[in-house]
Structure 1
Amino acid sequence: MSSPTPIIVWCHPRSVSSAFERAFMQRPDTRSYHEPLSMPFYYGEKRPCHRYDDDACKATSEGTLKSVLAETESGVEENVTVGQHEKTACRYIFIKDMAQYVFSAGALRSLHPDSTVYKPNDKQAAIAFNDPLENPTILPIDLLRRFKHTFLMRTPKKSVPSYWKCVQDGAAGFAYFDAAEAGYVELKLLYDWMANPKSTFHTAEETNDAHLIPGQVQAQPMPPPLVDASDLLARPDDVVARYCAAIGVPFDDGMLSWESGTVNAFNSWQGYHTAAQNSTGFKRETPVDPSAEQAETFLNGSSRISDHAFSPSSANLDSYNYLYAFRSIKTA
């Protein structure tokens, strides 16, 4: 039997990605991994994000980005999640993770010099992105080539206020909002590198250690499948089917609905996945022109979302609008 095909959907926070992930959780032939790179990103010894103090990090088990991603690719852990069917032999591995998790501390500091969570470090100098053809991540190209790469995004006019509300509600144990964590610029950098056939992702020769990496080099769908949440929620049946076709996975209409209930894989980030756990399918929305959208507002006691919280929506619109023009799976 051939090895399972590993697929990653790269996204940013509050992008409807957990609902998208639930669709793949329903497949009996698929094992899902929910944000496995978050552990080394937030808790690792060399963590680039300092949301949590040293004591919290020491009490949490984690690996390195490289070891965690290699483990998911090889299927060492079969993260069997809630679904409507018994699991069969694993043909596909589906990973949902945030693009910013694969950037170094120096890169994140360079991109977000005013951040409170991406702190300066004498040992990790700021990194400038001068060549879009070069690998912007800290992961080796040989490892990244073992996965099929896809992308999902949502307008910052909805995602950033949604993230702000989660923070105000105390989700994941922290209560201050940092605009740097919106994740759009990192998603754009990663997409640009992987979408360019002249970049080192496609052209670099294998290293001498490539044979030590488990799995097989994957044929990359080009351009990389890029889904906008507005299209997904307008026509989930059409968009999920076309996404499956783009990555070579047979569509199963059982992916469009699921049972409401606890998803064990979501337990690491309590509060962020309440809606996804309580849902029974995609919440349909009428597609809108992103240039005409108004920001969502959320009540927090008696105060509405602050200007500080909304400002990154405008700041991230350039990256979002750039990517929006490249979305490859659209509503009819």
Structure 2
Amino acid sequence: MSTSTANGDGEQPMPVIVWCCPRSCSTAFERAFMQSQSTRCFHEPTAGGYYYGPQRACQRYDEAACQASGQDHETVEQTLRDMLNPDVYNKGTAKTEGAKYIFAKDMAQYLFSGEVLSALHPDSKVYRTPSAEQAGVDYRHTLENPTVVPTDLLRRFKHTFLVRTPEKSVPSYYKCVQDKAAGFEYFDGAEAGYAELRILYQWLSNPESTFHTAPPSPSASSLPGKVQSQPQPPPLVDASVLLANPERTIRLYCEAVGFPFDEGMLSWEKKSVPEFSSWGTFHAAAEQSTGFKKDDETGSKAKKADLPQDVLETIERSKEDYEWLYERRTIREEEEK
């Protein structure tokens, strides 16, 4: 595979990924980086491999739906490889040439195998039933790579994180499912994404994990891109801090990853975004927005009494992982310092 670059000065674009969970204000966060003319943005690029591909972990769609998607050939690993080779991934797109940065917003659970996800969520409808060997396995403290992507490939991206309290994200996700915004037919709490976000953060941040200690594999030199210097600890943003002070949060995040901050990142035009089109009306609020709003304006208005039991149970089940992540947030409100 060619490793030719997208920008014309001989330098490869710096690739940054923000890993998140559904309804975490991540699409608004992504829109901020879409304002940069020197950046090529990718919206949940590994979703095709996770939902439709030959190695898909999620079982929401049957074989006919996967074939109809046109993404039934995709894998998570190959998508990440292609992102490092914009001449391949972005063939024919107007914004390929001259890009100095790659910014992707993606879901942490998309990186995990069906086997790991079934072990984490044994009662889920969207994941397979776990085997006897998998049942009860806890991956939260693993030193080994918990994902389907080779460590050497993951080292070629800068990894950052965004999380939001499940008391806001889970009801918001439930409402999207009820509205059939993405064509989903039912709510499944396994898709809340907090356990996977915690496991990924723990592995990437632990200096003793194989992400930091494993030597390069013999095939590493054939990978596109180059190994990135990782900010440690990995930048971890909580949505409440982001929405309380967008300018300061985005500025500090950019400083941590080496991305140029511009005040133009704080506002954008209300319009349809082609990158969001495959998700129906799931991102309608982000398309209709013109900037960051206070959390009480963007959070779900649903009262707990109006939520079904499985949604309430998902909120409670997600709190421990969320609080673990929240304690490790790297950007805090000024009065917290």
Unpaired stretches in structure 2, ≥5 consecutive residues: 1-9
Paired residues in the alignment total 319
Deviant stretches of 4+, over 2 Å: 76-82, 124-131, 295-299
Is 1:39 the counterpart of 2:14? The answer is: no
1:316: which partner in 2? 318
Q: State TM-score, norm by structure 1.
A: 0.91
Secondary structure of the corresponding residue to residue 107 of structure 1:
helix
Q: Give a deviation string over 1:42-69, Cα, whole Å, max 9, x none.
A: 0012211011111000122221111101
* 8 A contact 1:227–1:328 mirrored in 2: yes
The reply to whether residue 50 of structure 1 matches residue 88 of structure 2 is: no
How far, CA to CA, are the matches of 1:258 and 1:107 in structure 2? 39
Query: Per the alignment, do residues 7 and 147 of structure 1 end up closer, same or farther by CA in structure 2, a change over 3 Å counting?
Result: same
Shift of the alpha carbon at 1:129?
4.1
Match of 1:331 among 289, 309, 333: 333
1:9 and 1:97 in contact (8 A); partners too: yes
Q: What is the aligned partner in structure 1 of residue 127 from structure 2?
A: 118
Query: Does residue 71 of structure 2 align to residue 64 of structure 1?
Result: no
Tell me the residue number matched to 1:180: 190
The whole-number CA distance in structure 1 between the counterparts of 2:80 and 2:278 is 17
Quote how far apart the aligned CAs of 1:150 are: 0.1
Indicate yes or no: 2:151 matched with 1:141.
Answer: yes
Q: Which residue of 2 aligns with 1:265?
A: 275
Residue from 90, 105, 111 that aligns with 1:102: 111
Structure 1 SS opposite 2:32:
helix
Name the CA distance, whole Å, in 2 between partners of 1:283 and 1:87.
31
Cα contact 1:106–1:127 (8 A) shared by 2: no
TM-score by length of 2: 0.89
**Mind listing any 5+ residue stretches in structure 1 that lack a counterpart?**
287-294
For 1:10, the equivalent position in structure 2 comes to 19
SS in structure 1 at match of 2:292: coil
* Partner residue, 2:7: none
For each residue in 1:263-315, what CA deviation from the matched residue of structure 2 results, as whole angstroms up to 9, or x when unmatched?
000011112100000000011347xxxxxxxx95438xxx9221221211111
Residue-by-residue CA offset, 1:149-186 (whole Å, 9 max, x unaligned): 00000000000000000000011112211010000000
> For the residues of structure 2 that align with 1:61 and 1:11, how far apart are their CA atoms?
25
- How far is 1:119 from its partner? 1.7
Question: Secondary structure of the residue that 1:146 maps to in structure 2?
Answer: coil
Q: CA RMSD in A?
A: 2.4
Structure 2 residue identity aligned to 1:316: S
Partner residue in 2 for 1:292: none
Q: 1:158 aligns to what SS in structure 2?
A: helix
Cα distance in structure 2, aligned partners of 1:233 and 1:80: 36
CA distance in 2, matches of 1:282, 1:70: 32
| Partner residue in 1 for 2:205 | 195
The change in CA–CA distance for 1:111 and 1:87 in structure 2 (over 3 A counts) is: closer
Cα offsets for 1:100-123 (capped at 9, x unmatched): 00000010000000000002377x
Deviations along 1:4-61, one digit per CA (max 9) or x if unpaired, are: 0000000000000000000000001000000011111000122110111110001222
Secondary structure of 2:306's match? coil
Tell whether the 8 Å contact from 1:169 to 1:175 is kept in structure 2 after alignment.
no
Question: 1 CA distance for matches of 2:136 and 2:100?
Answer: 39
Q: Closer, same or farther in 2 for the Cα pair 1:268/1:127, shift >3 Å?
A: farther
Partner residue of 2:261? 251
The alpha-carbon deviation at position 77 of structure 1 amounts to: 3.0
2:4 maps to none
Percent identical among aligned pairs is 51
The worse-fitting range, judged by mean Cα deviation, of 194-203 and 128-137 is 128-137
The answer to whether the Cα contact below 8 Å between 1:235 and 1:284 also exists between their aligned partners in 2 is: no
AA of the residue aligned to 2:26: S
Query: Residue type matched to 1:24 in 2?
Result: F
